[in-house]
Amino acid sequence: MRICVISGTFHPEPGGPPTYLYHLLPALNERGHSVVVVTYGEASEANSSSYPYSVLRISRRTSIPQRLLAFSQEVLRQGRTTDVLFVSDYGLPAAVANLWLRKPMVLKIVSDFAWEFASRHGWTKASVEAFQTERPSPCIWLLKAVRQWYSRRARIVIVPSRHVGRLAEGWGIHKPAIRAIYNALPPECTNMPTREETRKAFGWPAEIPMLVTVGRLAEVKRIDLQLEMLRSLPEAHLVIVGDGPDRESLQRQSVEAGLADRVTFTGGLPHEQTMLAIRAADLFVLSSRTEGLSHVLLEAMQLGTPCIASEVGGNPEVITHQVDGLLVPFADVNALVSAVRSLLDDPPLRARLAEAAQKNLARFGWDRLVNETESVLKEAAHE
């Protein structure tokens, strides 16, 4: 089977979709499938010879109309000789190009594009669930119409959680076309250093509780809540891994709150360094407004770092409260403080949750993800 993969982001860029594709595509390649990737980025970002398939990158250094046109043209070129288009959460240009290609299209949706765009631009304050029925402004109506149009042009829609599946069904996608395939991780590395060794390598004092969060520094991640939380945890230090449009405002918030000496902004780190930072931490904290199904949450659980996450989106499908992690109501800073303190004050509880999390990750088996994804692509290509 010849697969044209279409994605707005790709390795070595951070985030769930690039991580998902980076691990999945070699597995499909090893099963005899031919893969070509069309994405954004600069040719210098990664050594193309490091991939067992072709990666064609469209520069972001041009205007939006220019790069959209160039992206669509590349999809047209590559799509002519493929059996199926596999689109990773970047459906509009793929659907437009497919008006000419008329190829079967499988679309993986990890979130509501319309809600994220509207939230990022301050057009809505609603939760992703409330946004679905919120009376829209003309701009939001257009966003929803675009999202519905390209989503419904896919033959099969893959979602990473039941939560995203419910959203997609509300957009008019027929339920039989929606396939929930949980995100997963390749088998864990067996030669990871211990937490003590990793902390020493980072130069983190053994006696200071270290909290780590990872993600794009954007409004949807609500890292500002963790800075507010830190004011009530004078003994703790917060490490923020990632970069994004909110970095300057978050740094300013930390200074104004007198937290500058207890917050570290690392910026974006290579994936290996990010994993080591999570491994070295006492706790991993995720305070997002929503999550489809968080890759980094799975990674933290795999690494044996106890997790606290907001009770939104797909997070309750990953964490069972007080069984393999803690869930807190979104934006409830007091609840976040209480959860962190309860784990810092109870090492046996931390150990029990971390051990249970590693065992329960069997629900997110890698072989299952590859098998089910391959099956969906074959079904779409040969329907």
- 310-335 pLDDT tens trace: 999 999 999 999 999 999 999 999 99
- Percent of the chain scoring above 90 in pLDDT: 78
Q: How many CB atoms lie within 10 A of CB 162?
A: 15
Nearest Cα to Cα of residue 164 among 101, 229, 108, 233: 108
In Å, what is the CA distance from 110 to each residue of 15, 65, 159, 183? 12, 25, 6, 10
Q: Which residues pair with 178 in a beta bridge?
A: 157
Q: Name the 3-class secondary structure at 314.
A: coil
Average pLDDT over residues 290-305: 93
Neighbours of 333 (CB within 10 A): 18
pLDDT of 104 > 80? The answer is: yes
Q: Phi then psi for 144, rounded to 5 degrees?
A: -65, -40
Cβ–Cβ < 8 Å for 45, 12? yes
CATH superfamily placement of domain 2-184+365-382? Glycogen Phosphorylase B; (3.40.50.2000)
Determine the straight-line distance between the first and last CA of the chain, rounded to whole angstroms: 13
Name the β-bridge partners of 35.
3
Q: How far apart are CA 88 and CA 318, in angstroms?
A: 21
Beta sheet of 156-159, edge-to-edge order: 54-58, 34-40, 2-7, 84-88, 105-108, 156-159, 178-180
* 146 pLDDT higher than 90: yes
pLDDT band at 193 (very low <50, low <70, confident <90, very high): confident
- The pair of structure tokens assigned to 169 is 């069904």
For the chain, give the percent of residues with pLDDT over 70. 97
pLDDT at 227: 97
pLDDT at residue 46 tops 70: no
pLDDT digits (tens, 9 = 90+) for 229-276: 999 999 999 999 999 999 999 999 999 999 999 999 999 998 889 999
Indicate the helix (H) or strand (E) that contains 321.
none
125-139 residue pLDDT tens: 899 999 999 888 999
Q: Give the per-residue pLDDT at 329.
A: 97
Q: Where, residue-wise, is CATH 3.40.50.2000 in the chain?
A: 2-184+365-382, 195-364
Q: How many Å separate Cα 264 from the centre of its chain?
A: 22
CATH annotation of 195-364: 3.40.50.2000
Q: Say if residues 151 and 264 touch (Cβ distance below 8 Å).
A: no
Q: Which of 166, 190, 157, 148 is nearest to 290 (CA)?
A: 166
Contact by Cβ (8 Å): 86, 156: no
Q: Virtual CA dihedral for 319, 320, 321, 325, nearest 10 degrees?
A: -40
β-partners of residue 132 are none
Inter-residue contact 151 to 159 (CB < 8 Å): no
Residue with tokens 């590859």: 370
Residue 124: pLDDT over 70: yes
Which of 154, 107, 109 is CA-nearest to residue 128? Answer: 109
